[in-house]
Amino acid sequence: MMRKMGSVRKNFSANPGDYKLLEEVGYGASATVFRAIYLPTNEVIAVKCLDLDRCNSNLDDIRKEAQTMILIDHLNVIKAFCSFVVEQCLWVVMPFMAEGSCLHLMKIAYPDGFEEFVIATILKETLKALEYLHRHGHIHRDIKAGNILLDSDGIVKLGDFGVSACMFDKGDRQRSRNTFVGTPCWMAPEVLQPGSGYDFKADIWSFGITALELAHGHAPFSKYPPMKVLLMTIQNAPPGLDYDRDKKFSKSFKEMVAMCLVKDQTKRPTAEKLLKHSFFKHAKPPELSVKNLLKDLPPLWDRVKALQLKDAAQLALKKMPSAEQEAISQNEYKRGVSAWNFDVEDLKAQASLVLDYDDEQGLKEEDESMDLFSNHKHASSSKSNLANSPPNRSALRGSVSSAELSRYGSSNGKGVIVEPNCNNGSQEKSDLCEKEVLGSDSVLSTPDKGVLQGPPQNQTVTGRQTRSGPLMPNAVLSHSQSERGRLYERCVAENQPVPEKGKSNVRRAPSFSGPLMLPNRASANSLSAPIWPSGGFRDEDKSKGNVVQIKKGRFSVTSESLDPGKDFPSCTVPRGSSTGSSPLRKSASVGEWLFDARPMPNNLSPKEGSNNAVPTSLLMPHLQNILQQTTIQQDLITNLLSTLQLTDVVDGGHTGNTQVQPLENNAAVDPAASERERLLLLKVSELQARMITLTDELTSEKLKHLQLKQQLSYMSGREEGSSRKGERES
Ligand SMILES: Nc1ncnc2c1ncn2[C@@H]1O[C@H](COP(=O)(O)OP(=O)(O)OP(=O)(O)O)[C@@H](O)[C@H]1O
């Protein structure tokens, strides 16, 4: 059934039969995006199919979000032509950005990031978009390379308003800005602290992180599990362009990034001010700098397919039982996810124990894992040779030939048509800030996040020959640049006609950092996306309790105790108190943790009802867990130290030096403790290994001893017998 939802502009109808969905060109947490043809005019457009079943937001919120996209009128912001509901999906019709996102582009051809002059252009265009949105009262809340879209002329547009919020919201909607939303690596420190409130400056932080992402090919901390990223964002000094490999970047670029990545949000510049920074003064127009990046690349849908396959392959490789990595990531998973809470002090304490950040090494690692098509030694901004585009590329680009149209046939006739709720576009731009709201404060249900919506029935997928054999990204890595284009082709060809089941598996892959990656890496980097300000379990009483959700690598914590009637200054949200309490529970889906917002018995927490942002009852199980872990660790260290003492005594005995090093108080954690702990643990493993060997030797010696004893008694028995026999005979 279709319902009256959206509006029509520029003569786009709200009749799904007028649209022919072609290839999938992207997907996010809640939506799949298709290249499509608007049949009445043969125009190529993009249709974003938002699965409403996966969004429990009320239709009104979604409608307003879609309307905002329709009202947008800026060269650098993706606008929607119209939107309407088809069965359980909201279709948003928008311009097709033929080159996809900057993230796609980096993943496929620029794994080490772009050159500075390219970055300057992309960032400048993005900043213009941000300045426009902020001026109209919107916080985007999900600025990242994955949401910066490019068309074939190099035009840069900011997309994805799935989680944005209106700064002028009042009342109930205010809650959406007391919800922390976003993709971990890009999230500002203040956004991570529920109830602390944040404003448009959060976008400036994400903008700074995006600058680093474009410079390196990935966001800082992206190799870490999401929870650790959150800890590091709160605990560590802000990331920057400070490493050796960053020497190639100009002082003004470094300075611009540093200005954005200031932890104190009040000290960050506005988008308007930042635009005046010297770094952007000489930025070339996108037609000159960005367009050149796009030469000789295969069409977007083939790139997307290849990336999906790569992710699926990586996931498969990761699933192999390779001992240590597995153990480490499991450990991190337990530390980071199952032991998660949002008490900042506790986070800091945990961070001080777990931080072992080696950016240089980590990023290198990340590069290797991400680099499918490019030679790693390749110069940072040089592009992989992906020149072997499929022959049908030109036919699939731009306007569509009649042959192609006939191949795709006419409408599927599946969708039930609703009357378009036309927005004639006459509304003033300024209405944006007053009437339209991006993002939702509603809580979504907890759908199966891993499963992305299957293609609509009328999606056309070009069939290809299948070859057997697994996709081995590592093998691809070792090939020369000239081979890469062919490898790309092969990789796509080998895996093309993906059976329905396989297809859904591919989509379930962490994808460019999806939910399945969650336990292992933060690499939300990828095509991951922000957490919807929605989606957790919620109590009937909406005025209490926190809702926390981790969805597809995106996090959302809502402090819902704000007084909905309270008015706040237009540009900042004050800290809200949280009086609700809730035990942690894990949803059935991997990587999703929800706070059950059901009230806890009062006697569970002495701090219950205090003005603490996180109720104590919420922390108790976790604190107990930490206490237990710490105790175990202490015991381990004590035992180890005693063993070492003994070893020292023995060693000393050998050398004539019997002096034993005094033991330090192992309960105290000093900065060198983690290193010492690591060394000690190493020693423990060695000792354990030695002990196991010795035990084995002892056992075999005992066995030998037993056998010898048996032989002896047997022989003595025989001897006795024969002597008795001799006696009898004599
Ligand atoms: N107009 C477009 N033209 C071409 N590709 C697009 C377009 N819009 C989106 N995409 C691609 O689809 C991907 C997903 O789109 P989008 O980010 O809007 O979905 P989403 O579900 O809201 O994502 P997210 O999980 O980031 O919130 C984008 O990263 C981009 O690669």
- Bridge-based pairing of strands 31-38 and 19-27 is antiparallel
Per the listing, tokens 């800005």 go with: 177
Locate 346 and state its tokens: 């506790």
- Taking the centre of ligand 1 as the mean of its atom positions, its distance from the CA of residue 97, in whole angstroms, is 10
- How is the chain split among helix, strand and coil, in percent rounded to 5? 45, 10, 45
pLDDT for position 649: 46
Our answer on whether the CB atom of 527 is closer than 6 Å to any ligand 1 atom is yes
Percent of the chain with pLDDT over 90: 20
Q: Are 530 and 517 in contact (CB under 8 A)?
A: no
- Taking the centre of ligand 1 as the mean of its atom positions, its distance from the CA of residue 612, in whole angstroms, is 38
Q: Are 293 and 456 in contact (CB under 8 A)?
A: no
pLDDT for position 255: 96
Ligand 1 mutation pick, 12, 21, 22, 27, max ligand atoms within 8 A of CB: 27
Our answer on whether the CB atom of 149 is closer than 6 Å to any ligand 1 atom is yes
Element holding 725 (H helix, E strand): helix 673-729
Percent of the chain with pLDDT over 70: 44
- Taking the centre of ligand 1 as the mean of its atom positions, its distance from the CA of residue 716, in whole angstroms, is 87
Our answer on whether the CB atom of 94 is closer than 6 Å to any ligand 1 atom is yes
Residue 372: pLDDT band (50, 70, 90) is: very low
Our answer on whether the CB atom of 46 is closer than 6 Å to any ligand 1 atom is yes
Q: Are 151 and 98 in contact (CB under 8 A)?
A: yes
The yes-or-no verdict on residue 113 having pLDDT over 70 is yes
The yes-or-no verdict on residue 75 having pLDDT over 90 is yes
Our answer on whether the CB atom of 96 is closer than 6 Å to any ligand 1 atom is yes
pLDDT for position 635: 67
At position 96, the amino acid (one-letter code) is F
pLDDT for position 319: 59
The yes-or-no verdict on residue 34 having pLDDT over 80 is yes
Our answer on whether the CB atom of 147 is closer than 6 Å to any ligand 1 atom is yes
Q: What's the Cα-to-Cα distance from 483 to each of 388, 390, 477, 480, 689, rounded to whole Å?
A: 10, 15, 10, 5, 46
Residues 6+ apart with CB under 8 A from 697: none
Pinpoint the alpha helices (H) of 355-477. 359-370, 393-396, 402-408, 431-435, 473-477
- Bridge-based pairing of strands 138-139 and 165-166 is antiparallel
Ligand 1 mutation pick, 48, 69, 94, max ligand atoms within 8 A of CB: 48
- Nearest residue to 100 (alpha-carbon basis) of 211, 25, 179, 205: 25
Nearest-5° Cα angle at 227, 236 to 178 = 90
Per the listing, tokens 């499929």 go with: 390
Our answer on whether the CB atom of 100 is closer than 6 Å to any ligand 1 atom is yes
- Taking the centre of ligand 1 as the mean of its atom positions, its distance from the CA of residue 26, in whole angstroms, is 6
How much is the average pLDDT of 317-339?
Answer: 44
pLDDT for position 85: 87
Residue 195: pLDDT band (50, 70, 90) is: low
The yes-or-no verdict on residue 96 having pLDDT over 50 is yes
The yes-or-no verdict on residue 174 having pLDDT over 80 is no
- Taking the centre of ligand 1 as the mean of its atom positions, its distance from the CA of residue 145, in whole angstroms, is 11
Q: What's the Cα-to-Cα distance from 325 to each of 223, 337, 552, 675, rounded to whole Å?
A: 13, 17, 22, 19
- Nearest residue to 531 (alpha-carbon basis) of 562, 511, 507, 557: 557
- Which one is catalytic: 18, 142, 151, 160? 142
- Taking the centre of ligand 1 as the mean of its atom positions, its distance from the CA of residue 366, in whole angstroms, is 23
pLDDT for position 318: 63
The yes-or-no verdict on residue 146 having pLDDT over 80 is yes
Our answer on whether the CB atom of 78 is closer than 6 Å to any ligand 1 atom is yes
Q: What is the pLDDT of residues 332-356, one digit of tens each?
A: 333 332 223 344 455 455 545 544 4
Q: 390-418: string of b/e by CB count within 10 Å (b at 16+)? A: beeeeebeeebeeebeeebeeebeebebb
CA nearest ligand 1 atom 19, residue: 28
Ligand 1 mutation pick, 23, 24, 33, 105, max ligand atoms within 8 A of CB: 33
The yes-or-no verdict on residue 595 having pLDDT over 60 is no
- Taking the centre of ligand 1 as the mean of its atom positions, its distance from the CA of residue 237, in whole angstroms, is 31
Binding residues for ATP: 48
Q: What is the pLDDT of residues 261-280, one digit of tens each?
A: 999 889 999 999 999 999 99
Residue 66: pLDDT band (50, 70, 90) is: confident
Residue 645: pLDDT band (50, 70, 90) is: low
Q: Are 571 and 138 in contact (CB under 8 A)?
A: no
φ, ψ at 665 (rounded to 5°): -70, 105
- Nearest residue to 617 (alpha-carbon basis) of 653, 579, 590, 591: 579
- Taking the centre of ligand 1 as the mean of its atom positions, its distance from the CA of residue 61, in whole angstroms, is 19
The yes-or-no verdict on residue 48 having pLDDT over 70 is yes
d(C-alpha 548, C-alpha 589), whole Å: 14
pLDDT for position 573: 29
Our answer on whether the CB atom of 176 is closer than 6 Å to any ligand 1 atom is no
The yes-or-no verdict on residue 214 having pLDDT over 70 is yes
Give the range with max mean pLDDT: 130-144, 380-394, 444-458, 464-478. Answer: 130-144
Residues 6+ apart with CB under 8 A from 722: none
Query: What secondary structure letter does DSSP report for 633?
Result: H
d(C-alpha 269, C-alpha 290), whole Å: 26
Locate 511 and state its tokens: 């994808």
φ, ψ at 179 (rounded to 5°): -105, 130
Give the range with max mean pLDDT: 84-93, 211-220, 225-234, 306-315. Answer: 211-220
Per the listing, tokens 């949803």 go with: 587
Q: Which ligand 1 atom is nearest residue 304's CA? A: 31
pLDDT for position 278: 96
Bridge partners (DSSP) of residue 34 are 24, 47
The mean pLDDT of the chain is 61
Residues 6+ apart with CB under 8 A from 157: 75, 76, 77, 78, 95, 97, 125, 129, 148, 149, 150, 151
Bridge partners (DSSP) of residue 122 are none
By mean pLDDT, which of 110-119, 268-277, 359-368, 476-485 is the weakest?
476-485
pLDDT for position 628: 66
Q: Which ligand 1 atom is nearest residue 98's CA? A: 4
Locate 18 and state its tokens: 């007028």
- Nearest residue to 614 (alpha-carbon basis) of 588, 669, 586, 576: 576
Our answer on whether the CB atom of 150 is closer than 6 Å to any ligand 1 atom is no
CA nearest ligand 1 atom 23, residue: 28
Of residues 262 and 360, more confidence is placed in: 262
The yes-or-no verdict on residue 60 having pLDDT over 60 is yes
**Exposed / middle / buried, residue 721 (Cβ in 10 Å: 0-12, 13-18, 19+):** exposed
Locate 443 and state its tokens: 């809580």
Q: Which ligand 1 atom is nearest residue 530's CA? A: 27
Ligand 1 mutation pick, 25, 210, 554, 555, max ligand atoms within 8 A of CB: 25
d(C-alpha 158, C-alpha 203), whole Å: 12
pLDDT for position 273: 96
Residue 638: pLDDT band (50, 70, 90) is: low
Q: Which ligand 1 atom is nearest residue 78's CA? A: 1
**Exposed / middle / buried, residue 321 (Cβ in 10 Å: 0-12, 13-18, 19+):** exposed
CA nearest ligand 1 atom 13, residue: 26
The yes-or-no verdict on residue 206 having pLDDT over 60 is yes
Report if pTM > 0.80. Answer: no
d(C-alpha 573, C-alpha 567), whole Å: 9
CA nearest ligand 1 atom 18, residue: 160
Our answer on whether the CB atom of 101 is closer than 6 Å to any ligand 1 atom is yes
Is position 356 annotated as part of the catalytic site? no
d(C-alpha 31, C-alpha 52), whole Å: 9
d(C-alpha 688, C-alpha 520), whole Å: 28
How much is the average pLDDT of 168-190?
Answer: 54
Of residues 668 and 706, more confidence is placed in: 706
Residues 6+ apart with CB under 8 A from 239: 209, 212, 220, 221, 261, 359
Binding residues: 48
Domains within the chain, CATH numbers bracketed? 15-96 (3.30.200.20), 97-310 (1.10.510.10)
The yes-or-no verdict on residue 312 having pLDDT over 60 is yes
Q: Are 425 and 70 in contact (CB under 8 A)?
A: yes
Our answer on whether the CB atom of 122 is closer than 6 Å to any ligand 1 atom is no
At position 481, the amino acid (one-letter code) is Q
Instruction: Please report the DSSP string for 178-226 in residue order.
Output: GEEEE-GGG--GGGGSTTS---THHHHHHHHHHHHHHHHSS-TTTTS-H
pLDDT for position 356: 44
Locate 676 and state its tokens: 């010492």
d(C-alpha 533, C-alpha 182), whole Å: 9
